[in-house]
Structure 1
Amino acid sequence: MLSKFENADGNRIRKYHPLQLERERVVFFPLSWTVVHPIDENSPMFGLSREDLMANDAEFLILLTGTDETFSQTVHARSSYRADEVVWGAKFVNVYKYDHDGHILGVDMDRFHSFERAQLPQIASISGA
């Protein structure tokens, strides 16, 4: 995560904050994988509100590296999301298609970007302390 902060000289500069993931590496890529960063006491986002992240021009840089099995080539994907582009209080819907016995048949690509509302935990904002 990138965000701006004020240094000792009073200048606002951008700082890089690496985010720990629940799972840093996947040996076998499943049909879908949600990258998760737990926001706990060790997270640079702990105690920050949406407004805090927006005021600090927070930006999430997502860099994924994998291997194409057909050609054994390294594949890179990069995305960037500003705090104002993040959907707050939501989670992704289930994208799997199931047969009548409950076995996974595949992924419903029409639901790939769909989400549903989720309850956010109430936290005290650091800026409001």
Structure 2
Amino acid sequence: MSVGIDGGDHNLFFIWPSLAVHHIDRHSPLYGLSARDLVDPSTEFEVVVMLEGTIESTGQVTQARSSYLPSEILWGHRFQPITTYNEELIGYEVDYSLFDSTLVVDTPLCSAMELDEIRSNVCASPSNSLLT
């Protein structure tokens, strides 16, 4: 799976919280996955995440690993922002108590593939001449 860093390149410097992002498009292995698939016990896959880096002060390589099963993936959720600007201190603050907190976002329950098909059918429909 292609994963990038939201708002930056692939070289991280961990002085600021960063969000790893996988965009679900035609090239994604999750393209055909729907909300129903995540709760279906016959859906079997695992997303394994590995983060590897170098400790700047020692040059030592370190690695963190985690994995996620379908039942652990929250459909239609986004991580809550943990940084805020404090005008009194004239700087940003990080609230680590929100580290694992998510917000529900309006997300279709169908797969990205089904959504693309619906959009292409709506746009191709002769009754939608205003869209063309």
Would you call these one fold, judging by a TM-score over 0.5? yes
Counterpart in the other structure of 1:22 = 4
**How many residues align structurally?**
110
Change in 2 beyond 3 A, CA 1:84/1:106: same
Counterpart in the other structure of 1:13 = none
Structural RMSD (CA): 2.7
Q: Structure 1 unaligned segments of length 5 or more: list them.
A: 1-18
Q: Does structure 2 retain, via aligned residues, the 8 Å contact 1:50–1:83?
A: no
1:73-116: per-residue Cα shift (whole Å, max 9, x none)?
A: 10100001111011111101110132117954331111111111
Runs (4 or more) in structure 1 with deviation over 6 Å come to: none
Q: Does structure 2 retain, via aligned residues, the 8 Å contact 1:93–1:115?
A: yes
- The alpha-carbon deviation at position 125 of structure 1 amounts to 7.8
Counterpart in the other structure of 1:5 = none
User: Could you say which structure has the higher strand fraction?
Assistant: 1
Aligned counterpart for 1:100 among listed residues 87, 100, 106: 87
Change in 2 beyond 3 A, CA 1:101/1:73: same
Q: Secondary structure at the match of 1:32?
A: coil
Normalized against structure 2, the TM-score is what?
A: 0.69
Q: What is the rounded CA distance, in whole Å, between the counterparts of 2:101 and 2:75 in structure 1?
A: 13
Q: What is the rounded CA distance, in whole Å, between the counterparts of 1:52 and 1:69 in structure 2?
A: 42
1:50-90: per-residue Cα shift (whole Å, max 9, x none)?
A: 33355331211000001111211101000011110111111
Residue type at the aligned position of 1:97: T
Aligned counterpart for 2:46 among listed residues 33, 40, 59: 59
Q: Structure 2 unaligned segments of length 5 or more: list them.
A: 115-132
Residue type at the aligned position of 2:45: A
Moved more, 65-74 or 23-32: 23-32
Aligned counterpart for 2:63 among listed residues 76, 79, 87: 76
Q: Does structure 1 retain, via aligned residues, the 8 Å contact 2:50–2:63?
A: yes
User: Could you say which structure has the higher helix fraction?
Assistant: 2
* Rg (Cα) greater in structure: 2
